[in-house]
Structure formats: structure tokens, C-alpha cells
Amino acid sequence: MKKSVKIVLAAASALPIVVAAAVPLFVNANTFRPIVESRLSAALSRKVTLGDLSLSVMKGSLVANDLAIAEDPKFGQTPFFTAKRLHIGVQMKPLIFHHELLVRSFEVDAPQIHLIRAEDGTWNFSTLSHGTDSLNTTRSTTLPDLPVDQITIKDGNAKMETLPLQKNPQVYDHLYVELEHFSLGQAFPFTVSASLPGDGKVEVSGTVGPINPQDAAFTTFNTQVKIQHLDPVAAGYVDPAAGISMIGGLDAHIASDGVNVTSDGKVHAEQLILLKGGKAAPYPIDVSYQVVHSLRSNSGQVSDLVFQTGAIAIHIKGNYQLAANVPVFDLKLLAQSVPINDLQALMPAVGVKLPNGATLKGGTLSADFTIKGSPTDNVIVGSYEIKNTKLVGYDLGSKIAGIAALGGIKTGDTTVIDISRANVRITKSGSESTKIYSVLPALGESTGSGTVSPSGALDFHLISKVTSAKGLNKVGVNLLTKLNSTSDTAKPSTATGIPISITGTAEEPVITADVNGLMKGNAATIKKKLSKLFGKKQ
């Protein structure tokens, strides 16, 4: 009796397995392939093709070996979406007994997704759900809905490119997507995660839909975006030629009403460089922003972009246009009495260089600049003013050739700057400074202009009024004043000061006072003045 019970129990346990193994013998899964292809093609308005179908009763799914979703003909013939395997979760009882296909879920393994954006701003996925006939100008406002409880994409790879093709497309690897309660006609929740080049990671979650039947790119959504260890150059977001780089993190809220995309968030940037030729900022910098982007015009308004480090905040506002996939912007930078001590981290990032071993301490910076152009070809025009700061670690007195013999300038290892201001114009051809005015107590008042080449070579010409200099001894001041005022060759523009030239580089400047030039004037007059000055006969 006990043996019989064991046999019955064993048979009962094995029966489901036997049935599951036997069902595929009586159900030809491939008979459902035209139905699945037809439904997917109708929902996506793209030709969808599947490979051989098999039935997995234990998993409750149909399995297709290959999946391909056609491309919009305007973007080429290569499939928009391909995958090696597609699992279609179905209700087994209706399938087996009534040959009725009721889909519960889709699971896609290792798909390859190719996203392309045309010069006019349209995407190759824009025509999903409304037809691919470019000659058909009438588009349906309703969709052949295909509601599914869950859609999952595992270990995908998405490549995003622009036309004309750029050198570095954006690549998202290990892509994972999960859509719940999917429906073309209503909003549904989703999560997305992917890896970026350079060990970056991106996570997006929120809701999307209903899908816009006119253009899928205008679908409404509300999302939260987090990116870790972002390298925008390696990820393809920034052209390497722009000279902009960083390793950063992003925490942002991005939402679209189908007309405008609003975004606000914060970027935590390390090793930040904002200008070609700049050096990485030594400390992290936070950049908060608020942007509104118009989907129709492919342009936007930067209502506020704030660079924050320490107690400072530098604001940038303006607008941009994504013309032919190249950002063109017109921005305004404004800084008012910003403490220089807190600027130390940001100065290298924007290309500000100081003599080797020197730092600025104390004082404030005010700046007003306009920035127009593209990331690789722009013009920066404006003015700056520095007040009450010190250049610590730089002995100006020992650096000015031509004055040392007259008693030198006593600055020690610190050069005090009461004020320094100028108008500046920066292009890819270098920078030009005009209307330079500075007051260094050790040297006096200086005015002039100069240029910096793309390689960093300095070429500045100043006139210094040493009569107010505190660094020169009295004999030196009097002598330079007399030399200047008696030179027969002195021009009106130089007759009130000593010509000073600055060459070399910002890190290794070469400063020369043209005392010899003054002495090439009327030698007899100079000799007479020197006799009076020193009380001797020459």
C-alpha cells in the first residue's frame, strides 16, 4: 500500500513536467509569429521581424531568436533596433486551448539600439507610432495601443549620433530599461540605467506618456536623473576641441510638457576646465542651473547658471540655439565684488595663470562679460576689476630689468595691488587687453595695453608713473622722473612715465623698464640735469 502511494505521488509530481514537455509537440509556436509581427508593426508603425519562435511552457513565454525593428527610411536602411532574443510572456491556457495570444510582458536580451538626430533636430524615433511614409502628410492622432504589464530590456547597447556624423558618438552600455503597465495611450512609470565611457553611470526614473502620435520626441515625461563619474568628453557630450573637461556628478529634475523641456539641478565638478588652455581646478566646484528648452525651435533659455566654490557665486544667463547640432550661445557672465580667496579654485579652470609659485590673497574681483559663439569658436568681451589684493610669492622688485641699478623696487615676496582693471577681448586667436589701469604702490600708476597669443606668449606695453612709486628710493624716483622729462625723443604719450614691456608667459613673465630708451634723447640735457640732481659736475 505504501509503495502504491509512492508511485501515485511520483506520477502526480511528474505529470506537470510531462505535460509541459509534451505541449510544444502539439503547439507550433511559429504559427503565432505573423500575429506578433503584425501587432508590433502596427503599434510601432515600423516593420518588425522575428526569427523562429519556440514555446517555453515552464516560463510561460514565446521565445524569438531574433528581433529587428526597421529604421525610418530618411535615416537609412540599417535596422533601428535589433536583439538576439525576445521573450514574450503570454497567458498559457488561452494560448494552448484556444490559440489565443494574450501578451503579459516583453523581455529583450542584449539589444543594439541606434539613435540618430538629423540637422533639423528630428530624431529617427520621431516617426515611431505614426507611420514611416514620408510622403504622407496626414498623421493619425490615435494609436493602435498594445498594453503590456511589463517591458524589460537587459544588457543593451545604445549609440546616439548626429548628422552629419561626429567623431565621438554617445554610447550607453549595459543598458537596463523597465517599463511598467506600458501603454501607448497613457502615462506609465519607468526606470533606466546604463554605463558611460570612463566608468560613468546614469540612472533615470519617472513617468512618461502618453506617447505623442504626431512625433514621439514630443512625448511628455517627468524624470529624475542621476549621473556618477561623468566624463563629458569621453561620453561624447562635449567636443574635445572645445577644451572643456571635468569628472562630475549630476542630480537633476527634467520634465517635458511636449512643448518645452525644463531642467534644474546641480553638477558637482572635479578637475574642471572651462576654457581651452586652462588647467584643472584644484578643488571641486558645484554648478547649479535652470534651463528651459523649446522642442520646436530647438533653442533654450539659461535662466541661471551659478558657479559655486566657497562663499562665491558667479552667475551666467542667456540663450542658446542648437543649430545643425552645434550649440550657438549668447551668454552674460556677471560677478560683483567676489572674494578672490574663494576664486582660487576656479581661476585655473578659466585660463587665469599667475607667475610660478605665486597666489592672489585678499581683495575682490568684479567682472562683466558677454560670451557669444560655439564651444569651439567663441568671442568673450567685457571688463574686469581687481581691488585690494596681494600677489604673494612674487618679488616684483627683482623681476623688473632696467631699474635695479637705480635702487631697485622694494617689494619683498609680496606685491600689493591696490587696483587693476582692463577691457578684454578673447577669441581662439588669443586675447587682447586695452585700457589697462593698475596701481601698485611699489611701482606707481600704470596704463597701457597688450595681447596674449594662443600659445600663451605675452606682449604688453605699459607706461608707469614712478613719481608715485613707494618701492623706489627717492634718488631713483627723482632720476627716472628727470630722465623722462628731459628726453628729446619722449613722445607725449610716454613723457609722463617710464615705458615697461612684459613678454614671456604668465608663468614666467619678463618685465623690462626701458630706461635706456629714455637716455637716448638729448644727452647734453640729461647730463646737465644729472649734474644738478647729484650736485656734481659731469
Structure confidence at residue 11 as a pLDDT band (50, 70, 90): very low
Greater confidence (185 vs 205) lies with 205
Query: What residues contact 413, with CB distance under 8 A and at least 6 apart?
Result: 392, 393, 394, 395
Examine the pLDDT at 329 and tell me if it is beyond 60.
Answer: yes
Q: Which of 362-376, 410-424, 485-499, 508-522 has the highest mean predicted lDDT (pLDDT)?
A: 362-376
Residue 56 has pLDDT above 90, yes or no: no
Mean local confidence (pLDDT), 285-304? 93
Over residues 201-208, mean pLDDT: 97
Residue 235 vs residue 420, higher pLDDT: 420
What is the number of other CB atoms lying within 10 angstroms of the CB of residue 58?
Answer: 10
Q: What is the distance between the alpha carbons of residues 419 and 414, in angstroms, rounded to a whole number?
A: 15
Residue 96 vs residue 378, higher pLDDT: 378
Nearest partner of 60 among 14, 101, 15, judged by Cα: 101
pLDDT at 116 over 70: yes
- Cα end-to-end span (Å), the chain: 141
Can you tell me the mean pLDDT for 208-231? 94
Mean pLDDT of all residues in 279-300? 91
Average pLDDT over residues 101-112: 93
Q: Is the pLDDT of residue 300 over 50?
A: yes
Whether residue 164 is preceded by a cis peptide bond, meaning omega within 30 degrees of 0, is: yes
Q: At what angle do helices 523-534 and 474-486 cross, to 10 degrees?
A: 150
CB neighbour list of residue 193: distance below 8 Å, 6 or more residues apart: 174, 175, 176, 201, 202, 203, 204
Given a contact cutoff of 8 angstroms between Cβ atoms, the answer to whether 382 and 423 are in contact is: yes
Region of poorest pLDDT, from 9-18, 40-49, 147-156, 281-290: 9-18
Predicted pLDDT at 517: 56
Model pLDDT for residues 134-164, shown as the tens digit of each residue: 334 344 444 456 789 999 999 999 999 888 7
* CB of 442 closer than 8 Å to CB of 396: yes
Q: Checking DSSP bridges between strand 458-465 and strand 326-339, what pairing results, if any?
A: unpaired
Tell me: pLDDT of 492 over 50.
no
CB 347 within 8 A of CB 310: no
- In sequence order, what are the residues at sequence separation of 6 or more whose Cβ sits closer than 8 angstroms to the Cβ of residue 84? 65, 66, 109, 110
pLDDT band at residue 15 under the 50/70/90 scheme = very low
Pairing of strands 285-294, 260-273: antiparallel
pLDDT for residue 470 = 56
| DSSP-derived secondary structure letter, 276 | T
Distances (CA, A) of 18 to 51, 358, 366, 369: 27, 83, 82, 78
Residue pLDDT, tens place only, 392-408:
998 887 777 766 544 45
Question: Sorting pLDDT into bands at 50, 70 and 90, what band is 47?
Answer: very high
d(CA 105, CA 90): 7
Q: Say what the pLDDT of residue 469 is.
A: 54
What value does the CA radius of gyration of the chain take, rounded to a whole number of Å? 36
- pLDDT, greater one: 102 or 262: 262
Q: Which three cell numbers stand for residue 313?
A: 557665486
The C-alpha cell of 358 is what?
A: 605665486
Per-residue pLDDT at 334 exceeds 80? yes
* Burial label, 431 (beta-carbon count in 10 A; 0-12, 13-18, 19+): middle
Global confidence as pTM: 0.79
| Rounded Cα distance, 231 and 245, in Å | 7
Q: Give percent of the chain above pLDDT 70.
A: 79
- Give the residue, 529 or 175, on which the prediction is more confident: 175
pLDDT of residue 520: 55
504-528 tens-digit pLDDT: 999 999 988 876 655 554 455 555 5
Looking at every residue in the chain, the average pLDDT score rounds to: 83
Query: Considering only 382-391, 499-508, 521-530, which range has the smallest mean pLDDT?
Result: 521-530
Which pLDDT score is estimated for 100? 85
- What's residue 324's pLDDT? 65
> Read out DSSP for 462-475?
EEEEGGG-SSS-HH
User: What is the residue whose three cell numbers read 497567458?
Assistant: 91
What is residue 254's predicted lDDT score, i.e. its pLDDT? 98
- What's the pLDDT tens digit per position in 433-484? 999 999 988 778 999 999 999 999 999 999 988 655 555 544 444 545 544 5
pLDDT at 101: 86
Q: How many residues does the chain have?
A: 538
Average the pLDDT over 6-32 and give the result.
Answer: 53
446-453 LR contacts (CB < 8 Å, sep 24+): 446/497, 446/500, 447/497, 448/500, 450/502, 452/506
- Is the pLDDT assigned to residue 12 strictly greater than 50? no
> Is the model's pLDDT at 46 over the cut of 50?
yes
Tell me what pLDDT residue 345 has.
77
CA angle 74, 79, 84 (to 5 degrees): 170
Q: Are 477 and 497 in contact (CB under 8 A)?
A: no
Mean pLDDT for 196-207 is 93
pLDDT band at 200 (very low <50, low <70, confident <90, very high): very high
141: which DSSP letter? S
Q: Does pLDDT of 316 surpass 80?
A: yes
